[in-house]
Structure 1
Amino acid sequence: MRELSLQLSLLDHQVSGRLELKDVDVDCLDLVNRYGPLSPSALAKRAGLHPATLTGILDRLERGGWVARERDPSDRRAVLVRALRERNAELLGLYAGMNASLEEICAGYGAAELEVVADFLHRTARAGRVATEELAGG
């Protein structure tokens, strides 16, 4: 697991460098793409970041055309961060090599085996999320 984590971190670092972003910027963009639109405070909590740190990240992502900060239609005083999908192809293109490798790897397994692998990955991700929340204090 440590080797996988390390290799994925190194891949993410290469991707962020190509996009002229910081690694944490790409992490936050991924969170917005997966769970958004999110309020900045909800994003900060999910990312385990201080809200002031998140402001700089959102500024960079907004300048780069990756996200937009918009008024929440249900509460005009609140702001939501929304991913701008126009640049997703660029991001996906940088992960194309890894995605192709994963497809090739998965093709070597049967449906029942893939279910076990998927269950393991979901449970491991959940354990990581819990550990992160505990370290972040909340």
Structure 2
Amino acid sequence: MGDTRIHTGAPRRRELTRSIYREARTAATRQALVDQAVAARLGIGSTDLLCLGVLDHAGPVTAGRLAELTGLTTGAVTGVVDRLEQAGFARRAKDPDDRRKVIIHPQDAQRERTGELYTPVLDALDAWCAAHTEEELETVLDYLRSFSGSLPGLAEGLRQRKV
């Protein structure tokens, strides 16, 4: 049977799908540029900010888990955590259940500072959302949740793939 995607025989649907992908990539690239600017204002690197974002979403995690979530090596994560700790964005603590492990905790005061830098982004999003119905916003939210939910598995598959 082969490819069973809906676009078969529907050129307009395929065109729309590809356009959505291009726009999503453009938005992701532009968000990455905003993130670079935020990282620079905070005095940390883009990878450091990425890890800080993972800590904000995942909560305190071991360095090994942070490496898994980001696809970074454990050595790279050690460097990131060193820099985040030095800049006051994170702290290390011994795992109470396993003293051999270290848990990385985000620091709330710095989270507020980071949030302030993203205020213009949230203001722009609020303005965009104001021009759309709740039904439209629910459709966008559904897309973002379902599509972004598939991306970690895809990234892992790419990391495991033989070149």
In the superposition, the TM-score normalised over structure 2's length comes to 0.81
Distance in 1, matches of 2:83 and 2:98, equals 25
SS at match of 2:53: helix
Structure number with the bigger relative contact order (C-alpha 8 A, sep ≥ 6) is 1
RMSD (CA atoms): 1.3
Q: Which stretch has the larger CA shift, 127-136 or 19-28?
A: 127-136
5+ residue gaps, structure 2: 1-23
Does residue 105 (structure 1) correspond to residue 105 (structure 2)? The answer is no
What is the aligned-residue identity percentage?
30
Larger Rg: 2
Establish whether residue 43 from structure 1 lines up as the match of residue 66 from structure 2.
yes
Equivalents in 1 of 2:98, 2:43: separation in Å?
34
Q: What SS does structure 2 have at the residue aligned with 1:69?
A: strand
Q: Letter of the 1:61 partner, please give it.
A: L
- CA distance in structure 2 between the partners assigned to 1:85 and 1:135 by the alignment: 34
The CA distance in 1 between the partners of 2:59 and 2:99, in whole Å, is 17
- Measured in 1, the distance between the counterparts of 2:90 and 2:103 equals 10
Specify the SS of the correspondent of 1:73: coil
Q: AA paired with 2:42?
A: L
The alignment of Structure 1 onto Structure 2 pairs a total of residues equal to 138
Moved over 4 A (4+): none
The answer to whether structure 1 residue 115 and structure 2 residue 115 are counterparts is no
